[in-house]
A and B are shown apart, each in its own frame.
Chain A
Amino acid sequence: IAGITQAPTSQILAAGRRMTLRCTQDMRHNAMYWYRQDLGLGLRLIHYSNTAGTTGKGEVPDGYSVSRANTDDFPLTLASAVPSQTSVYFCASSDGWGTDTQYFGPGTRLTVL
Chain B
Amino acid sequence: AQSVTQLDSQVPVFEEAPVELRCNYSSSVSVYLFWYVQYPNQGLQLLLKYLSGSTLVESINGFEAEFNKSQTSFHLRKPSVHISDTAEYFCAVSDPSGNTPLVFGKGTRLSVIA
Contacts and interface: CB of A to CB of B under 8 A. Distances in A.
Interface of A: 4, 31, 33, 40-43, 45, 48, 58, 90, 92, 96-99, 101-107
B63 interface: no
Given A48-B101, A104-B45, A40 B96 contact: no
Query: Which DSSP category, helix, strand, loop or mixed, fits chain B's interface?
Result: loop
B8 to A, nearest CB: 13
Contacts of A106: 42-43
Interface of B: 9, 32, 34, 36, 42-46, 49, 51, 90, 94-102, 104-107
B49 A101 contact: yes
A97 B30 CA distance: 15
Contact of A42 (B43, B45, B95, B107): B107
Given A42-B104, A90-B43, A96-B98, 15 more contacts: A31-B101, A33-B101, A43-B90, A43-B104, A48-B101, A58-B101, A97-B100, A97-B102, A99-B32, A102-B36, A102-B44, A102-B102, A104-B45, A107-B42, A107-B43
